[in-house]
């Protein structure tokens, strides 16, 4: 067995299954060699909360300093106070809509600049490291191995597409056009000099990019079905099933967060709907490749 491939992956059934699959796709047409990797919890750490949530909270704190009246709105007060009970009572959908509205009427460039500013200052709340340091090293190696087999790699996120598009090139080498996620609406307008311009709105184009919506959004935003899919939660189930059903014989890989010592130990669930079955049980039943962080990864985070 070669060791220069997937060097942060320990020898075992998961590593063997992935390499064996890739070594047997020479007959698959290049245009059908497509892999979609979920982002939160698959490419980078999603605990103690989503990175994109931290971004919007950071923006809210800045705006509240400029305009203290914002902090008096119930949905913003709950977020600023980290009041889990209040957030639950108000509802995640309302909270998310209120946070998204912080950029209502702003241009794509203004949003991009805010993301860049946040990323430059970001420190993980538990590990006190940069955003690049909470990316999973084994997943970066998997992307490298996929590309060695001429597989086109896309990132699929349940969060906002524009946020992940802003960081995907520098973190994963994935261009913005290969990022599929929840789409915010834009409005065509003109600037003071009459030139065409775009402004963000608070409306969503479709629904949050989880579960069946991931299938629809991959098709509408990218138009290429997966041969390979990697995820970690119930929100990725349909995407993994889609890959497994490829006419070429697909590969579905589940990342299991079972390493409390080096990361977190938890059962990943969908954020926007109730899972009817633990995703690890689904993986066992459907014959997916389950990757144990504790057993299969020699290293967890990028260095």
Percent of the chain with pLDDT over 90: 91
DSSP classification of residue 226:
-
Tell me the average pLDDT across 46-66: 96
Structural domain contains residue 303? no
Strand partners, 204: 184
Structural domain contains residue 166? yes
Question: Model pTM?
Answer: 0.95
Structural domain contains residue 278? yes
CA distances from 211 to 163, 208, 269, 275 (A): 20, 9, 11, 10
pLDDT in tens, 214-271: 999 999 999 999 999 999 999 999 999 999 999 999 999 999 999 999 999 999 999 8
Structural domain contains residue 88? no
pLDDT in tens, 273-299: 899 999 999 999 999 999 999 999 999
- Please give the Cα distance from 224 to 12 (Å, whole number): 31
Structural domain contains residue 258? yes
User: Cα angle vertex 159, ends 277, 229, to 5°?
Assistant: 55
Tell me the average pLDDT across 132-157: 98
Structural domain contains residue 76? no
Strand partners, 40: 44
Residue 255, pLDDT score: 98
What strand order describes the sheet that includes 228-231?
A: 179-182, 152-160, 34-38, 228-231, 251-256, 289-292
Percent of the chain with pLDDT over 70: 99
pLDDT in tens, 5-47: 999 999 999 999 999 999 999 999 999 999 999 999 999 999 9
Instruction: Read off the pLDDT band of 3 (50, 70, 90).
Output: low
Structural domain contains residue 40? yes
Phi, psi of 21 (to 5 degrees): -60, -45
Instruction: Read off the pLDDT band of 2 (50, 70, 90).
Output: very low
Q: How far apart are the first and last CA of the chain?
A: 25
Structural domain contains residue 221? yes
Judge whether residue 60 has pLDDT over 80.
Answer: yes
Structurally, the chain folds into a number of domains equal to 1
Compute the mean pLDDT over every residue in the chain, rounded to the nearest whole number. 95
18: domain CATH number? 3.40.50.1000
Helix or strand (DSSP H, E) at 57: helix 51-66
Q: Which of 58-62, 164-168, 189-193 has the lowest mean pLDDT?
A: 189-193
Judge whether residue 1 has pLDDT over 70.
Answer: no
Residue 145, pLDDT score: 98
What residues make up the domain containing 33? 13-48+126-296
Instruction: Read off the pLDDT band of 91 (50, 70, 90).
Output: confident
């Amino acid at each position: 067995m070669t060791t220069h491939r997937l060097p942060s992956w320990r020898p075992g059934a998961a590593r063997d299954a992935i390499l064996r699959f890739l070594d047997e796709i020479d007959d698959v047409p290049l245009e059908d060699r497509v892999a979609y990797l979920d982002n939160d919890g698959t490419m980078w750490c999603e605990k103690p909360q989503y990175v994109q949530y931290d971004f919007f909270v950071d923006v809210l704190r800045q705006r509240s300093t400029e305009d203290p009246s914002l902090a008096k709105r119930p949905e913003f007060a709950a977020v600023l106070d980290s009041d889990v009970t209040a957030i639950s009572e108000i509802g995640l959908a309302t909270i998310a809509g209120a946070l998204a509205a912080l950029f209502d009427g702003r241009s794509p460039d203004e949003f991009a600049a805010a993301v860049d500013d946040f990323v430059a200052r970001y420190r993980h709340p538990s590990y006190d490291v940069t955003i690049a340091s909470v990316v999973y090293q084994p997943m970066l190696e998997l992307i490298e191995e996929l590309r060695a087999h001429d597989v086109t790699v896309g990132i699929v996120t349940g969060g906002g597409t524009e946020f992940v598009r802003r960081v995907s090139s520098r973190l994963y080498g994935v261009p913005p056009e290969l990022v599929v996620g929840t789409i915010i609406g834009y409005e065509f307008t003109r600037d003071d000099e009459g030139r065409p311009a775009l402004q963000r709105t608070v409306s969503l184009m479709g629904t949050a990019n989880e579960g069946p919506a991931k299938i629809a959004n991959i098709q509408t935003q990218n138009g290429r079905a997966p041969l390979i899919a990697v995820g970690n939660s119930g929100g990725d189930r349909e995407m993994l099933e889609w890959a497994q059903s490829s006419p070429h014989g697909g590969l579905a890989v589940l990342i299991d967060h079972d390493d409390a010592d080096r990361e977190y130990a938890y059962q990943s669930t969908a954020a926007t709907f109730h899972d009817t079955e633990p995703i690890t049980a689904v993986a066992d039943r459907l014959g997916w490749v389950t990757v144990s962080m504790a057993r299969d990864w020699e290293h967890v985070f990028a260095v």
